[in-house]
Amino acid sequence: MIEIDIAVEAGDWPVEEELRGHAEKAVSAVFAELAIADPASELSLLFTDNPSIRVLNRDWRGKDKATNVLSFPAFEIAPGDPLPPMLGDIILASETVSKEAVLEGKPFAHHLTHLIVHGLLHLLGYDHENDEDAEEMEGLERRMLARLAIPDPYV
């Protein structure tokens, strides 16, 4: 199975054991939906706050604002490629994730799981830069979250 490295750097996050549970469920749903058997790879999740993610978003994407999730692939791969030994990093900001969950009327755990799924799809080569790719990625997210009894996040 995939090795998940979790670090809580900053922010008001649940305890690490709870975060790991959400991460493992999200990762399992992604690999099940994509029919990836026995994924021998590593994944890093960093749970941080808005000021930290803002710096990363500014330095790496040229967007000087906080965001909910960032993904940094260790290797560039396309959907369906064999998994590299390290997938990369998913970074989440507590204030933004919490605020979005409240504004959208979603349980925090559902929104967090969705963002982990979303970030992992980016590491696996999926993107949403054009309408066709966005439709494909959102469809995958819907099916993956349905496996976890999480309602469609795009309704």
The per-residue pLDDT for 88 is: 97
The per-residue pLDDT for 131 is: 86
Mean pLDDT per 10-residue segment, the chain (155 residues):
94 96 96 89 97 97 96 94 95 97 96 98 92 91 97 92
3 state SS for the chain? CCEEEEEECCCCCCCHHHHHHHHHHHHHHHHHHCCCCCCCCEEEEEEECHHHHHHHHHHHHCCCCCCCEEEEECCCCCCCCCCCCEEEEEEEEHHHHHHHHHHCCCCHHHHHHHHHHHHHHHHCCCCCCCHHHHHHHHHHHHHHHHCCCCCCCCC
The per-residue pLDDT for 27 is: 96
Tell me the whole-structure pTM to 2 decimals: 0.95
Query: What residue segments make up the domains of the chain, in order of their start?
Result: 3-146
Domain 3-146: top CATH class? alpha beta
